[in-house]
Amino acid sequence: MTDVLRFGPELALFIAAAVVITVDALIPIAGKSAYDARRPIAVFLALAGVGASFAMSAILIAADEKGTVASGMIEVDDFSLFFSFLFAGVAGMIVLGSVDYLARNRFHAEYLGLVLASAAAMMTMAAATDLIMIFVALETQAIAFYVLVGFLKDGRSSEAALKYLLLGATSTALTLYGMAYLFGLSGQTSLDGIAQYVSNAGDENRSALVLAAVFLTAGLGFKMAVVPFQMWVPDVYEGAPTPITAYLSVASKAAGFAVVMRIFLVALGHGLITSDWANLFAAIAAISMTVGNVLALNQKNIKRMLGYSSIAQAGTFLIGLAAVAAKDPQLELGTSSVVFFLGAYAFTNLGAFMAIIAISAKIKSEQIEDFAGIYRRSPFLALGLAACLISLTGIPPTAGFVAKLLVFNAAVEANLVWLALIGVLNSVISAYYYLRVVLVMFTRDPSEATTFQPSPYLGFAMMISVVGLLAIGVYPNPLVDAADHAARIFG
Amino acid sequence: MVTFAIFFPLVGALIIATLPRDQERQAKYIAAVTAAIVLAAVAYLFVAYDRDQSGYQFVTSENWIDSGVSAFNLNYAVGIDGLSLPLLALNAFLTLVAVLISFKVELRPKEYFAWLLVLETALMGVFSSLDFVLFFLFWEVELIPMYFLISIWGSGNRVYSAWKYVLYTFFGSAFMIIGILTLGFTAGTFDIRELGQIGEIHGAIIPAWCIFALISIAFLIKLPVVPFHTWLPDAHTDAPTAVSVILAGVLLKMGGYGILRLSFNIMPDVAKDIDVYLAILAAVSIIYGAVMTLLQSDLKRLIAYSSVSHMGYVLLGASSIGVIGLTGAATQLVTHGLITGMLFVLVGMVYDRAHTRDIGELKGLATRMPFITAMMMIAGLASLGLPALAGFAAEVTVFLGTFDQHEIPTLVGVVGVAFAAGYILWTIQRVFWGPPDPKWAELTDATEWWERGPLIAMTAAVLAIGVYPAWVMDLLRDGVTPIATRLG
């Protein structure tokens, strides 16, 4: 019974996903208006599932109910609970952000079902402590996303889905290959078991372990969207339905990082090859930031621009991970800064995408040029998007500023001053393309004078994001605290 | 009270932001009242500040970020001492001036006044932060209002200038944050009061001079010092008048303040090693700025370049690493803020009426604008360092303090004063004196209370500091004495 309780946050979402799809199929309304009548019910059920998942996580925290599930394949701890909240929250926001999209494109309830199921899978990814479970969760999440990316069924969306599927399958194979190496060496699938093997392993096994680390980095690098595993990002971001782009950029990335932290900090965290993968991460971080930012400079489509920006941001997260191992595997500062960054980034990027969904639905364009004068037409959306872009740049008083501060601090304390310098100089580059959008929105004249408001769902979702990112920017202590607790499990 | 002075402008800005669109015209009154209340609060600080007591006063310290695992603790710590108080007063005063002379702004007044007040909050924060990361936060917050103010309400090539300003500043602060983090990690604290006590940096992961350089680049860009000055002429020229006033009057002072309070105070050893280079940089800035000033034909650009030259004196005074020179440098911060602020106000008024700033086109304005001309004479003479006006006290103190240390750079600096006399008097002569041009027969003088009032108040301040400098200089000397002691 405790097993079920501990798996509650995930279970709530899985059940909600099934209920949303079943109820939608069974509702006995026929005729032309049937679709419109069923949609609010599906949305309501989906949000109820998110609420139930939140409640379950809160109960687990309140009851201090931690421990293992499924014979030790899943661990409920501060780390997994942090991500339970994060993914449930993100899923809720995506549902809110999809309402208009559902109506316009006549998406059915399976869209919402897939959003919920993938959120549950990502929670499981963050909580899994066994290679088998990690792989199962990873695949569940990936399959849901393959479908969601192609949901528009037009040329670009289908191309994006195919690209995502092919490259995703390759990355899965690489991940599996890395896992096979670890299993072959240690004879264990549990991360703790592998950790035990690694800390006793001799030098003769070094090269095999490095190879495993490289394969895992390549496979999971696809999920984190870091260079050189980022090829899919611009096309998929541009082609997918915008709420799914937002979902990919925030949740899928965070889940990738959560798995990387579990595998590398637990299984490979103590011993032989720690400094090897730290160097690897540092190099990938530097390249991702630079490539992402430089390519973002000239983008004309805002979704593509945010795609490249997300590559650069992922590079910044990796600084924190490189810092963990470069100094000392016990040092939790780096982990804590990455976890904090993931939370801050969720608010920031979701807010930006909500604004873009609302604006581009109205102006029928995703070109940055066409955002001219949006401030005159919808001050609320323009200010909200500006706040998010300022946070992405890392200018106070926003969550992005504190997040970058913590990551760079971790790097400096781990003697990675060079990496921190590359990081801050990249912030300067990124200022150009983020603030350019702000400039276009605020200083140009709009092509039309009519004003407009976002739908209440989108408006509400954006309010949460913007208030959240400002609150975190002004008083970051609660999130810092949560991130610290999550990071402590690796201590 | 310090916290009130920092955040009350923000409250005013929020009130303005919530005004309904048809009430937009009320924004300027709300802004003026807000700025006046802040000025009153700073005046209260000025009176209540205990001059017999050294160290920081009116200190507030609250926990801000407290990270358990990392011991990365930051505080919201603010307070004032003799060095920061006059700069707070300067900021409060010039913001009120800026609001008043903007009363005729018709373009999106709501946002305009809101951003001016946000800017005031950021600047108040910079001058009163006692935590290095908090200082950096306010330092960065200032970017966004400036970016909007220049790019929306500016003139000429305003978008380009706004970009240049933002990217230069952001570039500097990128280095600064690395310096701050390294320093904090080495010292185990980010508190400026504690950092000021450590004296020498031991066991840092990079050499102390690297930390010094990382932190100081941002200040040298902001001051600005040649060759980091190229953002300044563009930003000053294309910014709206009131923003030029704040930019020249207060923002440049962030650089000087940073050098004294942070670079010198925290790393005196490094400062002592490199003082000669700073003096040379200062001399180059003074002369380069002065020569460039002589070559300008645009009135605003001319004053902008003269700022490059005049801010060179701040660095020159600082390079003396003695109490007299530092006092001179700090005084120059205040007096240059007042004088150049005044010059920009006047040039803005001329431009609003004549719609040109070209020195070749403007002539004989004195007959049309007697009041503006009289004010221009006072500000100009103060700028060139005439005794009994504010500029003189500051520059003489700088020269007195620096001559023993760096003879040649000081002599070069004195030559800069001769240049200043040249470009100021020559400009005033060309623009205001001479036979009246019929083309300008329609021009009117400054008549509105919100035009005359600020100018008269600024004149009074320039005279007050010039005639009896001690009321400001004593404060500043008390403020820089601990820094000088650490350097000596």
Mark yes or no for CB contact A424/B166 under 8 Å: no
pLDDT over 70 (residue A381): yes
Residue of B121, B181, B201, B205 for testing the chain A interface, max A β-carbons within 10 Å:
B181
* Closest residue to A413, CB basis, from B133, B144, B185: B185
In B, minimum Cα distance to A403 occurs at B65
The minimum CA-CA distance between B212 and chain A, rounded to whole Å, is 15
Give contacts of A376 with chain B, Cβ < 8 Å: none
* pLDDT range class, residue A334, cuts 50, 70, 90: confident
pLDDT over 80 (residue A308): yes
β partners of residue A69: A74
Contact between A215 and A175 under an 8 Å Cβ cutoff? The reply is yes
In B, minimum Cα distance to A489 occurs at B69
Query: How far is residue B134's CA from residue A188's CA, in Å, rounded to a whole number?
Result: 49
**Beta pairing class for B57-67 and A67-69:** unpaired
**Terminal alpha carbon distance of chain A:** 29
Mark yes or no for CB contact A412/B205 under 8 Å: yes
Mean pLDDT, contiguous 10-residue spans, chain B (488 residues): 94 93 88 97 94 90 77 87 95 96 90 96 97 95 94 92 94 94 88 85 82 95 92 94 95 96 92 93 96 94 95 95 94 96 95 90 88 94 91 93 92 92 93 86 87 94 94 93 90
The minimum CA-CA distance between B186 and chain A, rounded to whole Å, is 9
Q: How many domains does chain B have?
A: 1
Residue of B67, B132, B231 for testing the chain A interface, max A β-carbons within 10 Å:
B67
Contact between A254 and A342 under an 8 Å Cβ cutoff? The reply is yes
* pLDDT range class, residue A104, cuts 50, 70, 90: confident
Mark yes or no for CB contact A333/B72 under 8 Å: yes
In A, minimum Cα distance to B167 occurs at A428
* Closest residue to A488, CB basis, from B64, B69, B159: B69
The minimum CA-CA distance between B256 and chain A, rounded to whole Å, is 22
Structure tokens at A269: 């965290």
In B, minimum Cα distance to A373 occurs at B152
Mark yes or no for CB contact B144/A431 under 8 Å: no
In B, minimum Cα distance to A443 occurs at B152
pLDDT over 90 (residue A123): yes
pLDDT over 90 (residue A324): no
CA B233 to chain centre: 15
Host domain of residue B59:
2-487
Mark yes or no for CB contact B185/A412 under 8 Å: yes
Query: How far is residue A194's CA from residue A130's CA, in Å, rounded to a whole number?
Result: 10
The minimum CA-CA distance between A362 and chain B, rounded to whole Å, is 23
Q: What is the pLDDT at residue B71?
A: 61
pLDDT over 90 (residue A490): no
Q: How many CB pairs under 8 A join A and B?
A: 103
Higher pLDDT, A426 or B22: A426
Mark yes or no for CB contact B70/A484 under 8 Å: yes
Residue of B155, B161, B170, B186 for testing the chain A interface, max A β-carbons within 10 Å:
B170
Where do we find the tokens 């006692």? B130
Mark yes or no for CB contact B137/A396 under 8 Å: yes
* Closest residue to B144, CB basis, from A390, A412, A488: A390
* pLDDT range class, residue A25, cuts 50, 70, 90: confident
* Closest residue to B174, CB basis, from A409, A412, A428: A428
A40-79 core/surface letters (b: 16 or more CB in 10 A; e: else): eebbebbbebbebbbebbeebeeeeeeebbbeebbbbbbb
pLDDT over 70 (residue A331): no
Structure tokens at A364: 């029928």
In B, minimum Cα distance to A386 occurs at B144
pLDDT over 80 (residue A273): no
Mean pLDDT for chain A overall: 91
pLDDT over 60 (residue A11): yes
SS (H, E, C) chain A: CHHHHHCHHHHHHHHHHHHHHHHHHHCCCCCCCHHHHHHHHHHHHHHHHHHHHHHHHHHHHHCCCCEEECCCCEEECHHHHHHHHHHHHHHHHHHHHHHHHHHHHCCCHHHHHHHHHHHHHHHHHHHECEHHHHHHHHHHHHHHHHHHHCCCCCHHHHHHHHHHHHHHHHHHHHHHHHHHHHHHHHCCCEHHHHHHHHHHCCHHHHHHHHHHHHHHHHHHHHHHCCCCCCCCHHHHHHHCCHHHHHHHHHHHHHHHHHHHHHHHHHHCCCCCCHHHHHHHHHHHHHHHHHHHHHHHCCCCEHHHHHHHHHHHHHHHHHHHHHHHHHHCCCCCHHHHHHHHHHHHHHHHHHHHHHHHHHHHHHHCCCEHHHHCCHHHHCHHHHHHHHHHHHHHHCCCCCHHHHHHHHHHHHHHHCCCHHHHHHHHHHHHHHHHHHHHHHHHHHHCCCCCCCCCCCCHHHHHHHHHHHHHHHHHHHCCHHHHHHHHHHHHCCC
* Closest residue to A424, CB basis, from B66, B178, B205: B178
Mark yes or no for CB contact B68/A484 under 8 Å: yes
Q: What is the pLDDT at residue A27?
A: 76
* Closest residue to B137, CB basis, from A397, A443, A480: A397
pTM of the entire predicted model: 0.94
Summarised one tens digit per residue, pLDDT across range A131-168 is 999 999 999 999 999 999 998 888 899 999 999 999 99
Mark yes or no for CB contact A410/B182 under 8 Å: no
Q: What is the pLDDT at residue A327?
A: 57
Give contacts of B181 with chain A, Cβ < 8 Å: 405, 408-409, 412-413, 420
Contact between B131 and B77 under an 8 Å Cβ cutoff? The reply is yes
Q: What is the pLDDT at residue B107?
A: 87
**Chain B positions with Cβ closer than 8 Å to A:** 63-70, 72, 133, 137-138, 140-141, 143-144, 147-148, 151-152, 159, 162-163, 166-167, 170-171, 174-175, 177-178, 181-182, 184-185, 205-206
Give contacts of A417 with chain B, Cβ < 8 Å: 178, 182, 205-206
